[in-house]
Each structure stands twice: as structure tokens, then as C-alpha cells.
Structure 1
Amino acid sequence: MGIAIRRRVMATWQLGPFDNDDAVEWCDALEAATADRRAELVRDTLAVAAAGRALTAGEAARAVAAAAAALQSLSGVPFSNSAYAPRFLADRGAMAVESSIRDLAVRALGEVLANGSAWRLRWADDIEEEEALAVVESLRSHLISAVTP
């Protein structure tokens, strides 16, 4: 008699926006980008997710990380205390985020949260499914109320 093991496509070790393999790789690329390129990388990542097509779980995870980075840049307050969050975000104003990026992040998270999305399916029937949804819904809510310069 064998034991069924459910494997996830990506490794996730916490519920935060930066706490999975795809987000960590994306954060590394964001850290490595020049200061003038970072907002563009965030915008490009969010645009993929907001395009209205089916997202892969990896695209969704990167969009969640990009949205959290945008929110921290806007508010100066970390949404997550993850050790994997981009370090430069600790300096408020280190990345300029305009209202168009905030709006794109809100739309992207709507796609991530949509019924049947790859991100939702990855969490389906997981013991932490409701908590994972609450984290992304909270991130989206904070973005909606964030004030842009």
C-alpha cells in the first residue's frame, strides 16, 4: 500500500508574497536590476498577469510579489516581513511607483484570485487555502487604498 503524495509545481514555504521559488527568483532579478529599470520590471510583470489570459502558477506568484513590492514602495511599510523581500525596498522612495502601476497591480491580483486560476487551483483543498486567499485579498485591498504620489 503506497502513500499518495501531492506535489506542488513550485515550492512554497510560507503564505507571504515573497515566500515561494518563483517569487524569490523574481525578487533576485529585481534586486539585480538597475534602479531606473526596477519600476519597469514591476510594470512588465504585472502587465502579463493583467492581460486577461490564463496565467501559469509561476506568472501569478511573480505578479503577487510585484504587487507587494509596488505596495511597499508606495506606502513605505512592508506588506511582508519575509527575508526574501527585495532589500532595497527598505529605503522609501527607492523605486518610483505611479498610480498606473498601482492600478495594474490591482487588476493583476484580480486575475490571480479569479476562480479557476492556476494560482487558486494550486491552493485548492490545501489546509492553508483560505489563509493564502486572505493574504492576496489583503494585498489587493491595501493597494486599492494606497495613495500614489
Structure 2
Amino acid sequence: MGTWDIGPFDNDTAADFGGNLDEAAMEERESMLRRVLERAAAPADHLDAPDAERAVAAAALVAAQHPDGEAACSNYGPSEPLPELPADLRTLAVDALDRVVAELSELADLWGEAADGPKWRQDITRLRDVLDPPIPPQEEALF
């Protein structure tokens, strides 16, 4: 695994994906993100690490356009701007992230063995929460 940190673009696969986005025409970038997320979200026996790494990077770019999102790009992410992404990509990104941390994910297995695994999983959860904020518990009305 060519990984140097836990960020969405801190591995060879995601960094290459960021470069591919930069090289693509503006009108192709949304479909590139969609394909990556669809591939990761699709039901399958196993999610390979490279597909999961690209999905995390794509989800971070989608989340970056959310009002509560943070900039996702590091020195290794895309430097060219993305078009305004449609809201339905948020749901697709959540589905992809759920698969990334699931039992049948090679990337989750790899991070499960790493010292920074819990921090990586925390960052994935934080990213997911931007895309699909948890519903705060309702306080019971006092009568």
C-alpha cells in the first residue's frame, strides 16, 4: 500500500486519481467521480483497496462542496476546480463510504492492521457525517 498518511489523497491511488481529474475536461469530472463512487457502492463479494481509495478521495471532493465540508485537497489532490456537483452524489458517496469500512473491504482490513487505523476510521466517519449528518437525539418533552 503506497500510503504516507490518512488523508483522502495520501496514497498513490488517490493521488493518481486527483491527477486524472486535473487532466480531464471540466464536463467529464462529475462523471468520473460518479463512476468511482458507483463502483465502490455496488454490491460485490469484496471491495478492492484501489477502488476504496479512489472512493474515499471522490467522497472527500463531494463533501468539500457541502456547506459543512472542508477542503479535501492536499498537495496530492486535484488542483483544478470541479464543477458544482449534484446533491445526489452525496447519497452515493455515503453508500461508497459504508462499503469502504465494511467487513468485505480490503482497505478496511489493511487499516485495521495499522497503528493509525482508528484515526483513519474516525476520519471516514467524520467525512460520512458531513455527507449525511446524524440526527441529533430528541429530548423527551416534560409534561
| Identity, % of aligned positions | 33
In the alignment, residue 49 of structure 1 is paired with which amino acid?
Answer: A
- Return the alpha-carbon distance in structure 2 between the equivalents of residues 31 and 123 of structure 1: 28
- Return the alpha-carbon distance in structure 2 between the equivalents of residues 102 and 77 of structure 1: 11
Matches within 5 A, 1:98-137: 98-137=86-125
- Return the alpha-carbon distance in structure 1 between the equivalents of residues 89 and 77 of structure 2: 19
CA RMSD of the aligned region, Å?
A: 1.6
Aligned to 1:65: 57
- Return the alpha-carbon distance in structure 2 between the equivalents of residues 36 and 78 of structure 1: 23
Give the secondary structure class of the aligned counterpart of 2:114.
coil
- Return the alpha-carbon distance in structure 1 between the equivalents of residues 83 and 42 of structure 2: 23
Aligned to 1:15: 6
User: TM-score, normalised on structure 1?
Assistant: 0.82
Aligned to 2:127: 139
- Return the alpha-carbon distance in structure 1 between the equivalents of residues 25 and 70 of structure 2: 21
User: TM-score, normalised on structure 2?
Assistant: 0.85
**Offset at residue 97 of structure 1 (A):** 1.1
Aligned to 2:26: 35
Please tell me whether the aligned partners of residues 66 and 130 of structure 2 are also in contact (alpha carbons under 8 angstroms).
Answer: no
- Return the alpha-carbon distance in structure 1 between the equivalents of residues 79 and 118 of structure 2: 28
Q: 1:76/1:84 Cα in 2 relative to 1: closer, same or farther (>3 Å)?
A: farther
Q: 1:76/1:138 Cα in 2 relative to 1: closer, same or farther (>3 Å)?
A: closer
Task: From the two aligned structures, give the one with the greater helix fraction.
Answer: 1
Please tell me whether the aligned partners of residues 40 and 55 of structure 2 are also in contact (alpha carbons under 8 angstroms).
Answer: yes
**How many residues matched?**
132
**Offset at residue 144 of structure 1 (A):** 1.1
What are the ranges of 5 or more consecutive residues in structure 2 without an aligned counterpart? 134-143
- Return the alpha-carbon distance in structure 2 between the equivalents of residues 120 and 18 of structure 1: 16
What are the ranges of 5 or more consecutive residues in structure 1 without an aligned counterpart? 1-9
How big is each residue's C-alpha offset from its partner over 1:104-130, in whole Å with a ceiling of 9 and x where there is no partner? Answer: 000000000112411111112211110
Give the secondary structure class of the aligned counterpart of 1:88.
coil
